[in-house]
Amino acid sequence: WASSPQNELWNWITNHYYNNNGSGSGSRTAYITSPVTMSSFSPSPSTVAAGGTFTINVTAVNSAGLAHSQVMIGASLYSSATGWISDPAHDAKVSLPVGTDGVSRLFTVPAGTAPGTYDLVVALWYDTDGDDAITGSDLPLLSSTASGAVTVVACGSDASFDWRADFYSGTAFNTLIFSKSTSAPAGPGSWSDWGTGSPYPGCVPVDQFSVRWTKTLSFVAGTYRFLVGSDDGARLYVDGTKILDAWVDRSYTEGTVDLALAAGNHTIVLEYYENTGAAVARLDWWALPVAAPDGGPVPGQPLGASRSTITGSTIHLTWGTCPSAAAYAVYYGDLSGVATATLSGAACSLGTSGSADWTGVPSGDLFFVLVSQDGHGDEGSWGTTSAGAERGGTSPSGLCGTTAKLTGLICP
């Protein structure tokens, strides 16, 4: 029976249970169930591509004395620009025991749905005819709206590229999702650290995806050290030749390889896959030191320092820098203990030039070192001692392309 039209929400359902004699008379008992309510619901993920599917997780409360086994979960998306979007194929029947229970259903956004933010409307229905579908004969129990809960995105490719990044589902470049222009993790000092998330939420999955970055760049002739770090697998190609291979599941690990390149254009390809857990990719490279004659820097590198004047016991140092000046520092100090010398008196953010004074007679040789700060910590260029010995770091700076190796700047 119904005391009001079925298109209204029913806050109560009455189930009648008659005595066993079948006469229609005599004692009988009626159980009146209290409302089924939703304490919460949420989409997972909340960002989804048109044509993609998300899960609606519902926390339902059945305060009745009996379990409900005929409850349907209905859902729709709504925006004022698009109107209502439903997915009846995923309307789900659930059984609600007495008390609080978590239930869920899927929702597929139709292909071609306009990108934007949508309200999520979730409703519980009583399947009166038991056909496992929400139809006009069923009773709506309750509904609730979460404003702006779902974001629909478009997974289209870019028209032009810096570094071309091709994103695929699967760990073996199974299905191309789209191609994007990106600078990370390609290029000196660049990283992509997505944690346990997705590079493009709603388009690329959080796990089981792969990426191929590609770009052709101009190099100065020399030997370069390439560094690749990844969690999980990665491999690096230069001009079609694989020079580094770490195509395995692993926590974040780095590897390096040295390669001599002729002057001109070379094509760099970094391939990467993410299986599960954290997702990190890194690519870096720098030129290795080039031998230079005493008395000058590596040709073409505008990075240098010199002792300009001595006034009494004060030594005046000056320097010029490469265009990435803010990433450089000049360290100078007393080399009384060569093996354990401390870099002191640092001057950073040099601008186009800089200067510093060393006052007092040093107890040992005075030196200065040109240093980059590009993600590897302090990396020495080269300085000299009064005896003409060269002083250098363990790896070169990559910011100016080649380490400036100064061998003729002798301190008194």
Residue 86 and residue 125 in one domain? yes
Residue 78 lies in a domain: yes
Per the listing, tokens 């979460």 go with 146
The mean per-residue pLDDT over the stretch 275-286 comes to: 90
Strands (E) across 80-162 are located at 83-86, 92-96, 99-108, 116-126, 139-153
CA 216 from chain centre, in angstroms, equals 24
Domain termination residue (choose one: 233, 253, 287) = 287
SS3 call for 227: strand
Domain termination residue (choose one: 257, 287, 317) = 287
Residue 279 and residue 319 in one domain? no
Residue 275 and residue 197 in one domain? yes
Residue 8 pLDDT class (50, 70, 90 cuts): very low
> What is the reported pLDDT for 50?
84
The mean per-residue pLDDT over the stretch 173-180 comes to: 90
> What is the reported pLDDT for 183?
63
Residue 282 and residue 309 in one domain? no
Q: pLDDT by residue (tens digit) across 116-175?
A: 999 999 999 988 888 999 988 888 888 999 999 999 988 877 777 778 889 999 999 999
Whether the pLDDT of residue 110 is over 80: the answer is yes
Whether the pLDDT of residue 407 is over 70: the answer is no
Q: pLDDT by residue (tens digit) across 192-243?
A: 788 898 888 888 889 999 999 999 988 888 888 898 999 999 999 999 999 9
> What is the reported pLDDT for 409?
28
Whether the pLDDT of residue 72 is over 70: the answer is yes
Whether the pLDDT of residue 270 is over 60: the answer is yes
Residue 360 and residue 385 in one domain? yes
For the chain, the first-to-last Cα distance in angstroms comes to: 107
Whether the pLDDT of residue 347 is over 50: the answer is no
Interstrand relation of 47-49 and 139-153 (parallel, antiparallel or unpaired) = parallel
Range among 63-72, 258-267, 325-334, 373-382 with highest mean pLDDT value: 258-267
Domain count, the chain: 3
Residue 397 lies in a domain: no
Q: Provide the residue range defining the domain that includes 142.
A: 13-153
Nearest to 371 by CA among 393, 344, 401: 393
Residue 257 lies in a domain: yes
Residue 19 and residue 85 in one domain? yes
> What is residue 89's DSSP assignment?
G
The mean per-residue pLDDT over the stretch 15-24 comes to: 55
Residue 247: what residue type?
A: W
Per the listing, tokens 């070192």 go with 369
For residue 49, give Cα distances in angstroms to 9, 77, 90, 215, 328: 33, 14, 17, 28, 44
Asked if 404 and 324 touch (Cβ cutoff 8 Å), the reply is no
Q: pLDDT by residue (tens digit) across 286-311?
A: 887 654 443 344 333 334 444 445 55
Query: pTM (2 decimals)?
Result: 0.53
Question: Residue 120 maps to which CATH number?
Answer: 2.60.40.10
SS3 call for 226: strand
Residue 178 and residue 282 in one domain? yes
Residue 261 lies in a domain: yes
> What is the reported pLDDT for 14?
54
Residue 321 lies in a domain: yes
Residue 63 and residue 139 in one domain? yes
Range among 28-37, 161-170, 263-272 with highest mean pLDDT value: 263-272
Residue 402 lies in a domain: no
Whether the pLDDT of residue 6 is over 90: the answer is no
> What is the reported pLDDT for 345?
37
Residue 309 and residue 375 in one domain? yes
Q: Which long-range contacts (CB under 8 A, 24 or more apart) does 320-323 make?
A: 320/352, 320/353, 321/350, 321/351, 321/352, 321/353, 321/354, 322/399, 322/400
Residues 6+ apart with CB under 8 A from 64: 31, 33, 34, 36, 98
> What is the Cβ-side half-sphere exposure of residue 309, based on CA atoms within 13 angstroms?
5
Question: Residue 209 maps to which CATH number?
Answer: 2.60.120.260
Residue 117 lies in a domain: yes
Whether the pLDDT of residue 402 is over 80: the answer is no
Residue 256 pLDDT class (50, 70, 90 cuts): very high
Domain termination residue (choose one: 153, 177, 202) = 153
Alpha carbon distance 150, 88 (integer Å): 18
Alpha carbon distance 235, 153 (integer Å): 30
Average pLDDT, the chain: 72
In sequence order, what DSSP letters do the residues of 20-44 get, joined into one string?
A: TT-SS-S-EEEEEEPPEEEEEEEEE
Residue 124 and residue 169 in one domain? no
Question: Residue 331 maps to which CATH number?
Answer: 2.60.40
Asked if 392 and 289 touch (Cβ cutoff 8 Å), the reply is yes
Q: Could you tell me what percentage of the chain is helix, strand and coil, using 3-state DSSP and rounding each to the nearest 5?
A: 0, 55, 45
Residue 139 and residue 51 in one domain? yes
> What is the reported pLDDT for 77?
95
Asked if 73 and 124 touch (Cβ cutoff 8 Å), the reply is yes
> What is residue 255's DSSP assignment?
E
Asked if 356 and 347 touch (Cβ cutoff 8 Å), the reply is yes
Residue 147 lies in a domain: yes
Residue 390: what residue type?
A: E
Question: pLDDT above 90 covers what percent of the chain?
Answer: 34
Whether the pLDDT of residue 411 is over 80: the answer is no
Residue 264 and residue 336 in one domain? no
